[in-house]
Amino acid sequence: MDAAASTARRPRQVRQVHDLPSPRGLPLLGNLHQLNAPKLHRVLEHWAAELGTPYRFQICGMPVTVWSDAELSQSVMRERPHRYRRYAALEPVLAEIGCNGVFSAEGAAWEPQRRLVMQALSLPHIRAFYPTLEAITKRLHARWQRAAERGEVVEMTDDLKRYTVDVTSALAFGEDPRTLEQERGVIQEQLAQIFPTLMHRVNAPFPYWRYVRLPRDRRTDRALAEVHRTIRAMMARSRERMRDDPAEAPRHLLEAMLALRDAPGADVTDDIIAANVLTLLLAGEDTTANALAWSLYYLCADEPLQARLANEARAVLGEAAVCPDYGLMKDLDRFEAVCTETLRLRPVAAIMAFEPVEDVQVSDVALPAGSKMFFLTRPPMLDARHYSQPGRFDPERWLRGSGGSAAQRVHDSRAWVQFGAGPRVCPGRHLAAVEMRLVLSMLMKHFKVKLAADPATIEEVTAFAMVPNRMPVQLEWRGGARADSRAARY
């Protein structure tokens, strides 16, 4: 049985893709001229509101079906990788830039990479890593304390990406680049070039860049060359440490991948290792950082919520600048709930793209193998059938025993799919949850936050993920004893 055959409503008549409603387009081009890449998610959501689900649009003769049914998206993701795969155009584009790692690999190439990444990002590893995670969060606290003292506006998207890259590098690769202590020349400057290029190339009707390099492509080439030099140097240093200081078991993901590379009969190559390093740098930097940045958009507009969170943070953290013990994470549920609710309204993964590897029937629609499918994640999360008062920002809806507010009367958590579902659920979800709790509890304990721009100028941009164009924030010290920033220099 396929994704739709398991639903309670059996279709009376099977439709073909060309039977689906479609926005009006042009001959030959179809709807290509209407697909504004930086606003792609908004364009698709607008058509979904007009046409319902599913509908189709055309890119130069290629139909793409668009769905906004949470149950179907869950079902499709559970049937990966044997019946569905990621959008096939993604894999060759990622391979060209040396980033075809665990995120995009399919078939037999995926399984060994997945095992290593899941182990590296497991709860026991994150728990053992916590002292380093705490130290990196203290550096972020010290950076923000200096900004507050100087009255500087902080571009939160930049600072949070520095933080998440430092965390991901230290956990997965055994090296802390300490970008929080630098102002220029950090790897994020190169990483920032990559996602917009990916978005552009994956959705291009023709791979022009293989024949003509435009200025944007040349900038991306330079950024990728620098990133790959950094990655190869990191791999070389890790090999030296393994030779000079051998351990009974790999100390982090990079050592595990290098050990597998050197095992007899292994299919893992240096290129595959480098691809996974780049994949984790991009994924670790972008998703969590932008989820936290979007959270500040709502916190800046809600001073009573800030005060409540500050009181809770003080109760848990005590005199510490940052949550001092992993065991206390359980007492910071509301901080993660803020991010979860933010991602319901501002989903970083606004579009998920799949295709069937065989002929399937989804709902009442027959899809040939290779059909392009886009799933929109926000419409189900703004549907009153899934969440009461869906347009209201209410973190309490994610907390058990919070008084039975109106927002809790309808709460279908299955409609929230920001970390995916099924066998290929995001392996970094546990680390993301810890980072969210750590950063927001530290921020709310020590600072009041105010958006340093007109909220109307904060725009959603599709750059592979859905990100804010900026998030400038003014930090104000809450008062009380200040933590000694020297303690952050671990």
> What is the pLDDT at residue 4?
47
User: Residue 56: which pLDDT band, with cuts at 50, 70 and 90?
Assistant: very high
Strands 62-67 and 372-376, bridge-based pairing: parallel
Strands 351-356 and 372-376, bridge-based pairing: antiparallel
User: Residue 476: which pLDDT band, with cuts at 50, 70 and 90?
Assistant: very high
Nearest CA to 228 among 99, 117, 101, 103?
99
CB under 8 Å to 133, separation ≥6 — which residues?
126, 167, 170, 171, 434, 435, 438
C-alpha–C-alpha distance, residues 375 and 308, integer Å? 36
> What is the pLDDT at residue 108?
67
> What is the pLDDT at residue 94?
84
Q: Which residues of 315-349 are buried (b: 16+ CB within 10 A; e: fewer)?
A: ebbeebbbbeebeebebbbbbbbbbbbbbbbbbbb
CB under 8 Å to 175, separation ≥6 — which residues?
169, 234, 237, 238
How does pLDDT run across 277-320, given as a tens digit for each residue?
888 888 776 788 999 999 999 999 999 999 999 999 999 999 99
| pLDDT surpassing 50 at residue 344 | yes
pLDDT > 70: percent of the chain: 91
How does pLDDT run across 163-187, given as a tens digit for each residue?
999 998 998 888 888 989 887 767 8
Q: Which two tokens stand for residue 203?
A: 């959705």
Bigger pLDDT: 81 vs 350:
350
Cα–Cα distances in angstroms (integers) from residue 354 to residues 28, 204, 331, 407, in the given order = 24, 16, 37, 32
Residue with tokens 């994949």: 279
62-67: strand order across its sheet: 55-59, 62-67, 372-376, 351-356, 84-86
Nearest CA to 414 among 72, 77, 79, 71?
71
Domain 17-488, classified CATH 1.10.630.10, yes or no: yes
User: Residue 121: which pLDDT band, with cuts at 50, 70 and 90?
Assistant: confident
C-alpha–C-alpha distance, residues 280 and 92, integer Å? 18
Choose the weakest-confidence range: 185-199, 213-227, 289-303, 468-482: 185-199
Nearest CA to 291 among 466, 136, 123, 456?
466
> What is the pLDDT at residue 3?
52
Query: Which amino acid makes up residue 211?
Result: Y
> What is the pLDDT at residue 54?
97
> What is the pLDDT at residue 401?
57
> What is the pLDDT at residue 404?
47
> What is the pLDDT at residue 194?
83
